[in-house]
Amino acid sequence: MIKRNLVVAGLALLLSACGFQLRGTGETSFALEEINLQARNSYGETAQQLEELLKDNGVRVYSGARYTLNLVSEQNRQRTASYTTSARSAEYELTTVLDYQFRGPENTVLLEDGVEVQKVYVHDSSNLIGSDQEAGQLRQEMRREVLQQLSMRIRGITPAQLDQLQQTAEARKRAEAEAIEAQMREQSQRPLQSPIELPIQ
């Protein structure tokens, strides 16, 4: 019995070390209870996986929510990091950048930021299929890491914080409108200058 318990504990420790966790468990609890999720590609893997992650952690995702999490853009870049002496293989650096915003009523931007992940892999020109498969698997891993970073950034954001940001944005908008109105009023009260008459020669 003791040996069995040690095996179970060892497996649990091994799985947690690999980053494995059951859905709805772990340290991904969110302070927000509901959110509207938008993305340029709503049916893309990133948006779908994020929606699943939010729902699995008790966040209601629907279009009627007061606040919106908007995935503004997702960029995947690749550049050559180094060449080997034979020039048959090279190291490539892959970069994934995900920019996001929190928006309030009337589409007001309350908060914007981004997360980024970089990985390096060796591309072997003599094994193109294997190299392409490795790159594809690496991209999937990078997407998971990007979503993990994003969840860490946003899990502590509370409705009260978003309410405060909304109030600040509305106050700034009112102040800007009042400044423009005061400037227009001042210009309208200035006497119009009569045209300059040139002396007849």
- If one counts the domains in the chain, the total is 1
Residue 12 lies in a domain: no
Tell me what the mean pLDDT of segment 80-94 comes to: 74
Tell me what the mean pLDDT of segment 136-164 comes to: 93
Residue 14 lies in a domain: no
Mean pLDDT across the chain, nearest whole number? Answer: 81
Query: Of 28 and 190, which is predicted with more confidence?
Result: 190
- What tens digit of pLDDT does each residue of 22-35 get? 343 345 589 999 99
Residue 18 lies in a domain: no
Reported pTM: 0.70
Question: Over 70: is that where the pLDDT of 105 sits?
Answer: yes
Most confident option among 1-10, 97-106, 133-142, 167-176: 97-106
Residue 196 lies in a domain: no
Residue 160 lies in a domain: yes
Residue 191 lies in a domain: no
Could you list the residue range(s) of the whole structural domain that residue 168 is in?
24-181
Residue 104 lies in a domain: yes
Question: Over 50: is that where the pLDDT of 190 sits?
Answer: yes
Query: Of 72 and 3, which is predicted with more confidence?
Result: 72
DSSP the chain: -HHHHHHHHHHHHHHHHTT---TT-SS---S-SEEEEEETTTTSHHHHHHHHHHHHTT-EE-TT-SSEEEEEEEEEEEEEEEE-TTSSEEEEEEEEEEEEEEE-GGG-EEEEEEEEEEEEEEEETT-HHHHHHHHHHHHHHHHHHHHHHHHHHHTT--HHHHHHHHHHHHHHHHHHHHHHHHHHHHHHHSPPPPPPPPPP-
Residue 190 lies in a domain: no
Domain at 45, CATH number:
3.30.160.150
What pLDDT does 183 receive?
85
